[in-house]
Structure 1
Amino acid sequence: MNLPKKVIHFAWKAAKDMLASKEALRQRHIVVEDGCALCGAPTENILHILWFCAHAKEVWSSSKFSLPFEVGPNWSFLDVMVKLQRSEELRPGLMERFVFVCWGIWKERNVIRTRGRCKLGRITLKNAIGLMDEYQMTNEGPARPATVGPELRKVGLGVLIRDSAGNVITAMSWPLVGPLGALEMEAKAVEIGMRFALDVGIQDAVFESDALEIVNAIQGIVAPCSSILLIVEGIHQLACLFRSCCFSHTKRQGNIPAHILAQFSSSLVSYVAWLETCPSHIEQACFQDISVAPIS
């Protein structure tokens, strides 16, 4: 995992049940009072602290983060990590995000217990995600210019997610270099957009693309050509993770904000995401564009 050593060490201790929860302390024959120190629940184990406690729930509910499974009341932190590992292929980076937010919850909980002050859940979440993004962007190594030849293309992908009223929920610019043709790049854009939507907790979605051939292939109107067959199959697998999901074609002029995001990514080394805010450089285009959830 591309995480700071202190966060990896935290995850290792949580998986080994070595964090100082009251249940763990009692197992070490240390006398402590019963019940969660923050919410009063009868049991305070690791997963309660990081997932079921009212304080943890406030943090998770303030995000659009969702797990591709239901966490059982008798699970351990290790059980969750094993499940996340199995989901990593379909939702890369999900485990890192989960661990970093858990670390933020644990850190803030210790502050509350020692100082008695509590931040809002959304502030704890924002701080944790911000630290993770900052760390990962500065620990990718020095940027190297991409070598783009006849078999390797560099493109930018833009993803914009809106609610039913057209308000921007989140956006992303993603630079992509790969041995893919134009059609494959368009299909890959849809796949990446779906993974991003899952990461931010979207359950019901309408995905729009201005690539008619891709939309028709996904909908089964036409058979996908061999170059995009595997990508389309992956899109169908991702679609099963949503509560409801459909695909729609939009004209290019109705997809302008996503294309601006794609152009912006040409100057990036890694992806950039804007959570619960509209990037300033697409505000005007979003105001003029009423389409929902465009993907470029």
Structure 2
Amino acid sequence: MLAQAKSSDDSLLFCQASLANGEALINILQLYEEASGQQLNRAKTSLYFTKNTPSAMRELIKDLFQVPEIKCHDKYLGLPSFVGRSKKEAFGGLKDRVWRRIFGWKEKLLSKAGREILIKAVAQSYSHAKYFPSCSFMDARVGRRPSYAWRSLAMGRSVLNVVMRWHGQKIRIWHDPWLPLVGSCMVQSMSAGMNPKATVSDLLLEEPRRWNETLVRENFSEWEAGVIMSIQLRDNRRGDRLFWNETKTGVFSVRSAYHLQLRHVAEVCGGESSTRHKDRGFWKFVWALSIPPKVKSFIWRACIGILPTNDLKFKRHMRGDGCCPVCVGATESAEHVLWMCPMANDVWVASTLPVLKWDRLVHSFCDLIVMARSRLGRGDLEFFACLMYFIWHQQNGVVYDGRVSNPVMVVERGRRLIQGFRDAHALPEVVLGRGNRRTVEEGSWTPPLPGLYKLNWDVHVDKETQAGWVGILIRDSAGLVMAAICASLPFSSRGEYFWYSGALVATQFALELGFFYILFEGSCSVFLSKLCRQVRGETIQDMWLKDIWALIPKFRSWEVLSVSRDQNIAAVCLAKLGSKFRQTTVWLENYPAELRNVLESL
């Protein structure tokens, strides 16, 4: 009997261990071989017998089939094919592999739900990757009789398709999202003669590397052709990369996908999900707290009233009363356990937080959080949240495990948790290469040393047209302008992209004119600080920075300087002139007349 088919050419056949059944099965297989033209691969075929099969019968059947017997539990797709009474023996290897994969994670900083998601994701990755060995996850078919987990993952692809975008050259033009647009990134124009399976590389010309404008305008609408032609091409050849448009970094996060799904449901249903009568600002504040995810989840559960307090158990008919086991009279609600109960009050006294004079009577836990938000600083508020998390655990330990109340230990655990979380998220700045980065003291523009050239650059984005412009001036040690450019920047829905694009234009401009001993001086910004860090991440900003750093080694001497906008006023004014010029303009040993007064005042 064909019991299970896990792949197109793998089968498990079950029958009673007897010569008659064995001969009948061989006849069936021979008939199948003759009808289909396929032949059984005996090198990959094996027999498995239960413990009740006599040894003599095993030998007769092995001689009949001419295939080996397996003694141990074989595996398929990373999981055991046969599971006996000992689940520990069958799945012990899988447990060890999962543990090795998650070893090193700061699991204490993960919420209960976060730990569950992590373990499920790691465990399921061993078998689900086998569902699409010859294609991508987005193109894989669900198949017949899929597992619940695989079917759920496949259903989520419709949400992913909305905000994913590819970067690269081997991307399919009409099948993959790759246009730099807000919303759908798919091409809407119909092909006018190109192969439907054509890739982005088919739209490029080499030496110099550029878009094939004629081909682009023949196959795309005027609007889409303009978008494609505005995409800046990179000189270095890298593999295709997939980015997530719902985050600034381009890296997928469960949080952003969750909010995307909420918006999708709201659009379909024409309404919003319940927020327990709290406005968006309150929930945004709660989720923006810089505390471990498990504490955030705890605060959220307390706010919406789903902590398993005695009051909740009583309302759900799980207890005879809802009284607090410590106070033996008051109702054990979330606000009572964490704020009004004498056991909690001992912790707040030991915490040294300025909360002792606050009103002990609050109507709800949300009111307590609102009161703390208005009276505590950011750091104290985050410590406040961590203490409530451990007050809850202390209460459970005293009531159910017979432990002794220790408010000092609760405060110490809360302090260690928040400090450990802050230390884990502190990122040191790393300085790179032959060059350096430093911040210049306030004052006016200063010329470089003899033999060096200083490049000042700045970016301006027109608020009405959303067009981006970069202004660049290169001056020598005498302060004379050697070259200047006001260049238009490719459009992007990401505002920070203009800074990357401006820095790339400045780097290429200096190299093309042969200024190899250069000081890059720009207005102080978040982008400029990132530019000088050693980039090893996988975000979309990291990819942009890698393009710039690929050009930096071509300079013989370089340095990056961060100055105020007043010291960089010439480049600031030049960038703003872009709205007037309307096109890229270059000056050699000269500059626009509009900058005369600015340069003479420096």
TM range (shorter): 0.3 to 0.5
Larger relative contact order (CA 8 Å, sep ≥ 6): 1
Larger Rg: 2
